[in-house]
Structure 1
Amino acid sequence: MLIREATAEDWPAIWPFFRQIVSAGETFTYPLDLSEEDGQDWWLVSDPNRTVVAVDDAGVVLGTAKMNRNHMGNGSHIASASYMVDPKHSGRGVGRALCEYTVEWARAAGYRAMQFNAVVETNENAVKLYRSIGFEVLGTLPEGFRHPTKGFVGLHIMHMAL
């Protein structure tokens, strides 16, 4: 697996699983009916932020991550990241590779910590992965997320010092 900078040419490969994940409404706080144009604008970020894709040996996009400053001004030393793995390729270590990549990016860029603002508590695989890499739950916003089948569930704020 190779992780490389994403380009606009990658968007047609990202959009189908991006749309599937967002419209399922189980893990992201994005509008469920997010248009392709808005999705591309939100996901393919520009410098100093980054978007990457994980690809296999044939160049197939397996997943993607975006890395960004979490706060501005005097809080701009905190990074954040978001991840999407094509469900057809889940369970193959793509999410872990992307998460580890973003942590290394943040360290190299001089950030002091990474913070995830809204990890849905029922997204157990993501919470387990993030904890295994060194993130901890700082707190949970009770009923901060309306899950389509589980009702109102908490949103974790997760943090890792770099």
Structure 2
Amino acid sequence: MRKEIILAVAIGFFILATVLDYLAGPIGLTLPQPFVFFSKLYFDQYPLTAVAVGLRSIAIFLTVTLAFSLIEKNYFLKAAILFVISVLAVLYSIQQIKTGMRTTSLQWTLSIAHAALLLGLTILYNIILGIISGVKEKIKSAEENNHE
């Protein structure tokens, strides 16, 4: 898929999530942690908000993944940076929900937490690419040494 299409999809998801948030209205909700929001209890009570959070999470995931795809190779470095970003995002979300702080709205806080979980896919993908790249380099250098 072309990067422009991914960017357009991410922007579309951000816009659609904003429209759904507007239609759903504000939510007054106290959660024990961000990851229980998609349980049946909350999903049945706040379906539009759940869809908006899901779309926004995917949009954040696509945006971060797209930004890191601009960096050539360096797969293990990308995986490490994405891991740190993911952990910090989850910790931020947990702190926002536990303390009742509202630096970001609850919808955005939930989206950030779930996008951080989705980043695990990109982290795993970069680790696999790093391993494959390393093996290819070893094979290539071994072949060059055999030809000499």
Q: TM-score, normalised by structure 1?
A: 0.26
Larger radius of gyration: 2
Larger helix share, 1 or 2: 2
Larger strand share, 1 or 2: 1
Q: TM-score, normalised by structure 2?
A: 0.28
